[in-house]
Structure 1
Amino acid sequence: MAKRSLQASAEGIRKAKQAFRRKGWTQEYLAGEVGLETRQPIWKFFTGKAIDRQVFHEICLVLGLNPEEIAQQPPDESLSLETNLENTSDIDALVQKARFANYEKIQAQCGTLHLLDIARPIVLDDLYVEVNIFEEITSKRWLEITDLQRLDSNNFDRFNLDKFNKQRIPGLEAVAKYSKLMLFGKTGSGKTTFLQSLAVRCNQGKFKSDCLPIFIRLKSLAENTSDNHPISLLQYIYDEFSEQGISISEILTIFAQGKALILLDSLDELNEEESDIIIREIHHFAERFYKNTVIITCRLAAQRYQFNGFTEIEIADFSKSQIITFADKWFVAVAK
């Protein structure tokens, strides 16, 4: 039977204080975030005294912490949640439970495309064409002297640089090769559509079927805030899954085991204030849950964003064969 009260361990207090300092809050503000009338439970929490179990969990949640890692465990319960789920079958069962709960939402989020001048949504699979990837950003690529000598100075077009030394690989191959990706592309190059296709394929068990797909439009994350509820990537994810009956501990376990495919779309659509906050949130998430696959999309014009440990890649322009395939699919899809 679960104890009615919990207290933080010495290591848990250290972690909690670090998270509290990162937020830059006062204890009074934290109490308000948790819905407490006084800050006394907050003071007890940070001094390792026992407090109500629910309040303990809510404080950890607001600070972006795993309650299992913060709480002082009795000797017979000293194993962490991650250790208790070392059995592969248990972890797989948990992932499949979350995938099942999240299936319809992913299909609704990512299974269709909304296009200009088309009154109805188009099914993603009816229009999607496999994309290719440059493993080197065009603007950061070096050319040999012989390549430069072959450029026509009278008819210079920077896009002609694509002809030189640029090895294309399929998009799925790039995702399989790198677990942390910053995906750049021109406006309309298909960055969002590519993320949607990854989410749907994962959702349908055609790609990374042992992972939980999570698709987030970063502008929606930025708008899901108020004076009393600052931007929090983890809180946003917790809220989304709690509506589907998946607990915080279950989500944290999936993250700790590296069983999530996190797809973060359109970093460039944020204003400067929003981007500064969300970049910090992504940094913190990627460092804490480093085992997971994380992909962020951004326009080429906004290359000022950089993330430690992330590989920068670029969506290639369609080849002639891809253009023909897309055109064929377009006319069939629109004519339906």
Structure 2
Amino acid sequence: MHLTPEQEAKIDPLLLTILPDAEGDEILQVVMVLGEDEANTSTTKTLQPSQFSSRIEYRQALIEQRKQQLETGTVGQTVEALNNLSLTINGGKTSRFLVVEGTAKEIIKSLSLPGVKSATLDQIIRIEPIPIDPPKVEYLTNLILDIFPINKDKVSQAAKQYISNYYKNYGRLQVLGMRKPIKLEEIYTTVKVLPKKLIQQFTDLEGIQESFRTRQQYNLDEAENNKQSGIIIANTYKYLTVLGAPGSGKSTLLRKVGLEAIKGTLSYNCIPVFIELKQFTNTQDIDLLKIISQPFKDCDFPNVDNFIKIGLQAGKFIILLDGLDEVPNNTVKKVVTQVREFIKDYKNNRFIISCRTAAYNQQFNNFNDVIIADFDDTQIKQFINNWFCSDVDKRAETAKKCLAALEKKSGAKDLAKTPLLLTFICLVYDQSQTLPKNRSELYNEALKILLEKWAAEKRLERDAIYKDFNTKLEIMLLSEIAYEGFIVDKLFFKTQELVDQIKTFLARNLNAPQDLDGEAVLNAIAIQQGILVERLDNIYSFSHLTLQEYLTAKYIVDNHLIEQTVNKYVTETRWKEVFILIAGLMEGSTGADQLLLYMENKALSYIKSLSDNHRFIKLLEWAETKTKNSPADLTPVAKRVVANANANTYANANANTYANTNANAYAYAYANTYVYTYANANANAYAYAYALKVFIQFIDKIEAAPPLFSGVNLQKLRDQLQLLNTLIPNEKEAREVHRTFAKKLLETWLNAFDLTLDMISLSLKEVKELDQQYFYIYHLILQCKDGAILVTDETWKAIEERMYRVPSS
């Protein structure tokens, strides 16, 4: 749309990026400043304090005089003119500052009014449906008619509306704080494909001994070698599970698949239906047929129920189920059961499910599992160019400067691989031209930008909702909401719950404005900021789970709840991100020291609760004694960690952290994994031969590095294994012969390291308990150390000195 030079001079750069490319029907909200009638002001009688009996009366008279000046002058006349343009105005005739809402077309007209001095973009309220290409409508219409032959004109009209709605809801990306929506198709997502066996080992709780061993050693390299586009993967697999970290682009990929289905560019013809699983907040039966039918009913499809049933039976749909990890814990089993039954009943259709990797438990059989890849350099560059795409930014080369700043800060560059964090990076850079390395600092800075920008543009003195409700108070309120929800595993909040919590917060805080309406505050946060989002009627959630986790961490730090939180939740994996963020928020001369010490105390308390004869106590003692004087190029704590890596999930992950470049460490850990697996299986001649081959290969690797253990004769072990290789029983021999051979194989390996079968024969229950109560805690301590602003050298050395040792009484 065309703007005159006079109109352009009145608007800020943000609005300038929107209006020239607008179609006209976009609904915008802007903050306008109106001009004063200087002549009217100059002829107004000057009031003196001496004319009044009190200063209160004097101030009231000044206010009334000012109101009359504005109402009868330029401000009042301009407000009337804005009303005549069918714009919605918040403010009235007694303030020079107005929040105006209306179409882009009417906003442009208002800029020609002489009383409008400036206009600043507040937010885009709504983007009207994108004009739909006739070929898309024709494709979808014909696809539907093939399923259910009915009136073509009605189907065509409904198909056009369905496509329009899909593009409106899922075809544009406007992440929290983005200047304007961008086409989703401009963001490309790739996925890393992990072999199904490795995925199962990583997520199968019954196979916990293997889960993290294989995960740490193999999956990343194999995934890099198998990197493919998300659309190729969607074309390849009928049933697909898309895994990824928070904010990695799982939902974006599902939306993109739906867009490709609408265009008919997939390798199969199907109709996309996008379902957000987070909507299932209660334990009542879930009617997926009804849910799938609703968007078609909204578009006035004829005979919807019959069309849906016939189409599902014919396998003509692709069902995109987004956010399995965001289903509340009390309903997730029912949701999984209902979805499984639905897939079983309509197995000819295609299904894609997204879920956080950490929450994935292999709930669905016959699904192929893929993991979202980090953004590569090309994608990061494209995203930043899309963000800073206005004419002003292009002239200033903002995108180029932001990319250069990323290259200089490896920490920020690493964060930028995740789309959500890259969004925050753009926000922070746009405001400060600097990039923090710490993830907690990044969230903090991004949140401040959002709230303070809002405060500067909209918290007008005349409106009670903005009065005295400063940024710090709002962050305190949001943190409390986040924390109170997170401790009970609540991601969704009813309107009344939030309103009541806001009222309670305001009532108990003497410095908070007491006349604010709780519902109005909620509405402001949700509509004008987008931090809380209304997902369903009267059901809200934070715009992203990661944002709730950050605010939860902030509440814990601000309210000195760190020790209490560690004692209650340190072994719950759901809290992992919160603890890492807590570490990044702890400041002062000792940084995150106290958090790490509280966590360590929980791990040590568990060890102290074990009897002196417990197998794991014996393993700890053995590891310290056996590695104490070895020449391996590892610290004492690294030697102990690696030595214990053979029988525990997080123990192996910790070993990789401490010894990820040490061939000896890897060789020892995985040799023990293989010997335990093969020697205790219902083995056959082939398995024995393969196991022996692997063991000898590991000896080769161990010999290439300084010995990790003292007194291990590797040549003798090699000779013994080669002798056993000539004595492998054939499959016809008695089962007892096989058991004897398996026992001999295991004892040969263990004896070489001065281990006994009893020492490593931890039950599955013991392994799970050790993982949860000890190894997981130390794994989290390492992650929190890396995520902290500061950990003192003295404290960390003391923790390492105690790590993987039997604590003194």
Instruction: Report the TM-score range of the alignment, normalised by the length of the smaller protein.
Output: 0.5 to 0.7
Offset, 1:301:
0.9
**1:99–1:203: 8 Å Cα contact kept in structure 2?**
no
> 1:322 corresponds to which residue?
379
Larger Rg: 2
Offset, 1:186:
1.0
**2:234–2:257: 8 Å Cα contact kept in structure 1?**
no
Letter in 1 for 2:248: S
Does residue 110 of structure 1 match 2:167?
no
Higher relative contact order (CA 8 A, sep 6+): 1
Secondary structure at the residue paired with 2:388?
A: helix
Distance in 1 between the 2:218 and 2:256 partners?
29
**1:211–1:261: 8 Å Cα contact kept in structure 2?**
yes
171, 182, 193: which is aligned to 2:252? 193
Q: How do 1:81-230 and structure 2 match up within 5 A?
A: 90-91=146-147, 99-126=159-186, 128-136=187-195, 162-164=220-222, 166-207=225-266, 210-220=269-279, 222-223=280-281, 230=285
Offset, 1:174:
1.1
Segments of structure 1 that go 5 or more residues without pairing to the other structure are: 1-86, 143-156
Offset, 1:269:
0.5
Distance in 2 between the 1:159 and 1:318 partners?
22
**1:180–1:293: 8 Å Cα contact kept in structure 2?**
yes
Distance in 2 between the 1:160 and 1:280 partners?
32
> 1:254 corresponds to which residue?
311
**1:215–1:264: 8 Å Cα contact kept in structure 2?**
yes
Letter in 1 for 2:349: N
Distance in 1 between the 2:218 and 2:314 partners?
44
Q: How do 1:34-45 and structure 2 match up within 5 A?
A: none
- What is the number of equivalent residue pairs in this alignment? 231
Offset, 1:207:
2.8
Does residue 233 of structure 1 match 2:292?
no
Point out the structure with the larger helix share. 2
**1:238–1:248: 8 Å Cα contact kept in structure 2?**
yes
Secondary structure at the residue paired with 1:106?
A: helix
Secondary structure at the residue paired with 1:214?
A: strand
TM-score normalised according to structure 2 size: 0.26
Distance in 2 between the 1:272 and 1:296 partners?
17
Q: Per the alignment, do residues 159 and 184 of structure 1 end up closer, same or farther by CA in structure 2, a change over 3 Å counting?
A: farther
**2:178–2:387: 8 Å Cα contact kept in structure 1?**
no
Distance in 1 between the 2:190 and 2:162 partners?
26
Q: Per the alignment, do residues 268 and 310 of structure 1 end up closer, same or farther by CA in structure 2, a change over 3 Å counting?
A: same
Q: Per the alignment, do residues 208 and 250 of structure 1 end up closer, same or farther by CA in structure 2, a change over 3 Å counting?
A: farther
324, 342, 349: which is aligned to 1:285? 342
> 1:242 corresponds to which residue?
297
Moved more, 111-120 or 270-279: 111-120
Letter in 1 for 2:235: A
Offset, 1:212:
0.8
Letter in 2 for 1:308: N
Letter in 1 for 2:227: R
Offset, 1:333:
7.1
Q: Deviation per CA, 1:206-226, whole angstroms, max 9, x where unpaired?
A: 335731110111112x15x7x
**1:113–1:123: 8 Å Cα contact kept in structure 2?**
yes
Letter in 1 for 2:262: N
Q: Deviation per CA, 1:60-112, whole angstroms, max 9, x where unpaired?
A: xxxxxxxxxxxxxxxxxxxxxxxxxxx99732867975744521221112111
Percent identity for Structure 1 against Structure 2: 27
Segments of structure 2 that go 5 or more residues without pairing to the other structure are: 1-142, 203-214, 395-809
Q: Per the alignment, do residues 252 and 139 of structure 1 end up closer, same or farther by CA in structure 2, a change over 3 Å counting?
A: closer
Distance in 2 between the 1:237 and 1:213 partners?
10
Secondary structure at the residue paired with 1:332?
A: coil
Offset, 1:180:
0.3
Distance in 2 between the 1:217 and 1:179 partners?
20
Offset, 1:159:
9.7
Distance in 2 between the 1:248 and 1:332 partners?
44
Letter in 2 for 1:108: K
Please give the root-mean-square deviation of Cα atoms over the aligned residues, in Å.
Answer: 3.3
Q: Deviation per CA, 1:259-284, whole angstroms, max 9, x where unpaired?
A: 10111101101111221121112111
